[in-house]
Structure 1
Amino acid sequence: MKTLANLRLIDPEEGTESIGWIRFSDHVEEIGKGEGPDGAEDCGGLCIAPGIIDIGVKICEPGERHKESYRTAGRAAAAGGVTTMVTRPDTTPVTDTPEMLEFAVRRAREAAPVHVLPMAALTKGREGREMTEIGFLQDAGAVAFTDTDNPIRDAKVLLRAMSYAKGLGALIISHPQEPVLSSGAAMTSGAFATKLGLPAVSPQAERLQLERDLTLVEMTGCRYHADQITTAVALPALARAKEAGLPVTAGTSIHHLTLNAFDVDDYRTFFKLKPPLRSEDDRLATVEALASGLIDIISSMHTPQDEESKRLPFEEAASGAVALETLLPAALRLVHSGHLTLPQLFRALALNPARLLGLPAGRLSPGAPADLIVFDPDAPFVLDRFKLHSKSKNTPFDTARMQGRVRRTFVSGEDVTP
């Protein structure tokens, strides 16, 4: 049993922030306001909040273990305040069978100090042609089904998968980018992309795919989550779907909330992402949608790439960035700029992901799992990518001035801070 006092209690469920104390074992036993009981550990006014639940983490075992392993990703997560990683199936080989899923569950249990929940592919090989055995995969532990950044082109295949998933109560997660228009794109279209001479895609590609997907959701009633909404033109379709009562939620990535297309100015491939970084107007619209609750979830979209994959001309370089350790300090930029309060931020980082996946976590209340983080939201530092715990160091925040340090991470009441 641990008792921590002199804390700023960040409660995303109640939307409050207060001074108080907390007692916990493997779950939260008691929370109080004001001074803590005798013998409590004084935390000097630091913040405590539910641990982050990060949907969309890529771990590269077994086939690309040189990029990231469960051990290194788990340490990076613990250092960044992520107490639950929800992992993607775009592995080598693809996580599309119960055997591959069982391997992931076993390796995570052996090597990662945080909770790991696997997602499975929606179609075999993520090829968009034949649906996976959703029922068997669900029984093996899959919490959601997605072809990640390889959207299903054939609407009939997706309709069939959605109908089947509806019968099982399964969650489908989709990447709303029209695949033909997006093919080969390295930037978002506009004058800046033209100036740099890079192949680009219109923001409308996101809207097109989202509207198609939402039409199929309307036909089937399937639970659906859009993993990355990053453009202003996609937001009206999302708003209409929610107003109509469809079982729809949406997320966005931390990079699209805090960076924009101008960051690509010197062709630094650490800024090459999928979808590509957007205009500042799109970024601000996405931040506003998050603040209003139209967008539900912030994720890291942690995508490790080795040096060889990134040390290429911008157009040829691999997409993606690591973000397990930078998720919280980058997200705190939205708090320091006045766009979000701390309870709003942790609603998107912890409470809403927990609700989406039906988890008891994400709350700061008695009975909830003791998956907790203690952090200093104002601690300044300059990020050094070589100090990250991830095997791959491809972060766009290298040498950036940031604020916010995780001091302690608890998983089921155990201190797992690296």
Structure 2
Amino acid sequence: MSARRDWSPQQDTPPPAPPRSLLIRNARVLDPASGFDGIAHLGIRDGRIAELSQAEPRGEYEQTLDARNLWLLPGLVDLAARLREPGHTHKARFASEIPAAQAGGITSLVLPPDTQPVIDSPANLLRVLRLAGQTGGLKLRVLGALTQGLNGEALAELSALKAAGAIGFAQGLKPLRDLLVARRALEYARGLSLPVHVFAQDAALAAGGCAHEGPVATRLGLPPIPVAAEVAAIRAWISLVEDTGAPVHFCRLSTARGVELVQSAQRRQLPVTADVAAHQLWLCDRDIDGFNALCHVIPPLRSAEDRQALRQAVASGVIGAICSDHQPHEADAKINPFPLTEAGISGLETLLPLTLGLVQEGQLTPLAAAARLSLGPARIAGIEAGSLTPGAPADLCLLDPAPSWVLRPEHLLSAGRNTPFAGWTLQGRVRRTLLDGYPVYANAD
């Protein structure tokens, strides 16, 4: 019988070797797959969950962890994060961004196809996976490019991309030439049983704008992006879903009207899902006042009314996932006049605390928060994650919900310090992130 070693979340470093078995005792377990929310013990054997029980566990475990007063939830699944490698390594690398993801409790991450080179061929996809594998510690999933070079015209090698491991297809922020290309793409993707991830913004209506069309943009003299840009695009894609039956996932909703359209499609049982970036649930167009380039994002920060509609959609499940939309930048990318700065927020390490903020405000229950961060995005991505049921991979996040802390950009592990939440008081700290039962991140602060 193996000797039992005890270790606790207060240790400075994880155990020196991966245990074949681990028992996490007395945690508040949040399992969105079963709907369980209560104090329980979770056992791990050979990288998978062996048991979840409120009763005393069966058998011996090599190591135990007393997780009293901590929350245990599935590892987060982030549906959109740009890690900047390959092609933009002056901004960040896998070596900096994967530890940042681990610190945020993220165990699976979906990479959009707009790297350099674009992920429009099996060779480029496998290159990305190989580069990420050199760092390790994260399950990286990849969206293949919908069109060659993301040029919006000729379809990419979709079947070959699926065979190489693509979990879906997308255009990043690039538009398609016309709706005929969109329809053909949906027909092809449906035959492959993979979703198309759509950034819903009509390029002609957006017209190169950088801010929400409203009083703030007018006063600042910024080129606007109207709500109609999102609405028109969603309407067109839903019409194509009606014709083809192909699944579509709308990425980064930003408007109340967009939420209404998605909700209507779901009520008609169309295969339509949606996500929202965490920053859209806290910021609005007023935050760009003073030409705050840290709040320059695409889609733009909308009105306070749009923000409230997004929150309600997350609570109801119309929006099934919250993502980071992580886009790390070097400092110079944010110092030009607002329209000339690069859009995006460094969000891996704020995804979880911002979502916990919704719990603290009573917008979400802890179990619903766990669902939007793990099971919901896992189902959208079609991957094995987001569950604590026996047999599932032991990808876990152990969280202390109590401590409050002030976000200091210089303390972020990400190479991108471009966050508008600097100086905000956030609550909750990840204490352990486990990947296949092995601790890849530990924090006792």
Scaled by the length of structure 2, the TM-score of the pair is 0.91
Q: Is the contact made by 1:250 and 1:297 (CA closer than 8 Å) also made in structure 2?
A: yes
CA offset at residue 243 of structure 1?
1.6
Q: Is the contact made by 1:5 and 1:35 (CA closer than 8 Å) also made in structure 2?
A: no
SS state of the match for residue 56, structure 1? Answer: coil
Larger-gyration structure (1/2): 2
Instruction: Quote the RMSD (CA, aligned, Å).
Output: 1.4
Structure 1 counterpart of 2:29, from 3, 6, 9: 9
Matches of 1:358 and 1:92, distance apart in 2: 25
CA offset at residue 359 of structure 1?
2.1
Structure 2 counterpart of 1:276, from 293, 297, 300: 300
Is the alpha carbon distance of 1:35 and 1:227 closer, same or farther for their aligned partners in structure 2, counting shifts above 3 Å?
same
SS state of the match for residue 417, structure 1? Answer: strand
Matches of 1:162 and 1:382, distance apart in 2: 45
The one-letter code sitting in structure 1 at the alignment partner of 2:184 is R
- 1:71-220 equivalences under 5 Å are 71-220=95-244
CA offset at residue 333 of structure 1?
1.0
Aligned residue number for residue 64 of structure 1: 88
Matches of 1:134 and 1:260, distance apart in 2: 37
- 1:8-27 equivalences under 5 Å are 8-25=28-45, 26-27=47-48
CA offset at residue 360 of structure 1?
2.3
Residue range with higher mean Cα deviation, 51-60 or 260-269: 260-269
Alignment length (residue pairs): 418
The one-letter code sitting in structure 2 at the alignment partner of 1:168 is L
CA offset at residue 335 of structure 1?
0.5
Give % identity.
Answer: 37
Aligned residue number for residue 31 of structure 1: 52
Residue range with higher mean Cα deviation, 360-369 or 25-34: 25-34
Deviations 1:99-131, CA, capped at 9 Å, x for gaps: 110101111111131111111110111110111
CA offset at residue 184 of structure 1?
2.2
Aligned residue number for residue 339 of structure 1: 363
Matches of 2:85 and 2:97, distance apart in 1: 11
Matches of 1:287 and 1:173, distance apart in 2: 21
Q: Is the contact made by 1:6 and 1:35 (CA closer than 8 Å) also made in structure 2?
A: no
Q: Is the contact made by 1:75 and 1:112 (CA closer than 8 Å) also made in structure 2?
A: no
Q: What runs of 5+ residues in structure 2 fail to find an aligned partner?
A: 1-20
The one-letter code sitting in structure 2 at the alignment partner of 1:7 is A
Q: Is the contact made by 1:89 and 1:147 (CA closer than 8 Å) also made in structure 2?
A: yes
The one-letter code sitting in structure 1 at the alignment partner of 2:24 is L
Q: Is the contact made by 1:204 and 1:234 (CA closer than 8 Å) also made in structure 2?
A: no
Matches of 1:128 and 1:389, distance apart in 2: 35
Deviations 1:311-359, CA, capped at 9 Å, x for gaps: 1111110000111111000111110110001110111110011112222
Aligned residue number for residue 390 of structure 2: 366
Q: Is the contact made by 1:20 and 1:36 (CA closer than 8 Å) also made in structure 2?
A: no
- 1:389-404 equivalences under 5 Å are 389-404=413-428
Q: Is the contact made by 1:12 and 1:363 (CA closer than 8 Å) also made in structure 2?
A: yes
Q: Is the contact made by 2:79 and 2:381 (CA closer than 8 Å) also made in structure 1?
A: no
The one-letter code sitting in structure 2 at the alignment partner of 1:157 is V
Matches of 1:316 and 1:379, distance apart in 2: 38
The one-letter code sitting in structure 1 at the alignment partner of 2:395 is D
Scaled by the length of structure 1, the TM-score of the pair is 0.97
SS state of the match for residue 403, structure 1? Answer: strand
Residue range with higher mean Cα deviation, 358-367 or 128-137: 358-367
- 1:254-273 equivalences under 5 Å are 254-273=278-297
Q: Is the contact made by 2:49 and 2:391 (CA closer than 8 Å) also made in structure 1?
A: yes
CA offset at residue 21 of structure 1?
1.3
Matches of 1:298 and 1:394, distance apart in 2: 19
CA offset at residue 303 of structure 1?
0.9
Q: Is the contact made by 1:122 and 1:132 (CA closer than 8 Å) also made in structure 2?
A: yes
The one-letter code sitting in structure 1 at the alignment partner of 2:159 is G
Residue range with higher mean Cα deviation, 246-255 or 39-48: 39-48
Q: Is the contact made by 2:384 and 2:393 (CA closer than 8 Å) also made in structure 1?
A: yes
Aligned residue number for residue 53 of structure 1: 77
Q: Is the contact made by 1:89 and 1:119 (CA closer than 8 Å) also made in structure 2?
A: yes
Deviations 1:253-306, CA, capped at 9 Å, x for gaps: 101112111111222211100001011110000110111111111111111121
The one-letter code sitting in structure 2 at the alignment partner of 1:389 is L
CA offset at residue 235 of structure 1?
2.0
Matches of 2:404 and 2:343, distance apart in 1: 29
Q: Is the contact made by 1:382 and 1:402 (CA closer than 8 Å) also made in structure 2?
A: yes
Matches of 1:312 and 1:247, distance apart in 2: 41
Matches of 2:261 and 2:69, distance apart in 1: 42
Aligned residue number for residue 290 of structure 1: 314
The one-letter code sitting in structure 2 at the alignment partner of 1:27 is R
Matches of 1:194 and 1:126, distance apart in 2: 32
Structure 1 counterpart of 2:347, from 317, 320, 323: 323
Deviations 1:69-94, CA, capped at 9 Å, x for gaps: 12211101100000001111111121
Aligned residue number for residue 375 of structure 1: 399
Matches of 1:255 and 1:85, distance apart in 2: 18
Aligned residue number for residue 307 of structure 1: 331
Matches of 1:406 and 1:183, distance apart in 2: 41
Q: Is the contact made by 1:225 and 1:249 (CA closer than 8 Å) also made in structure 2?
A: yes
SS state of the match for residue 57, structure 1? Answer: coil
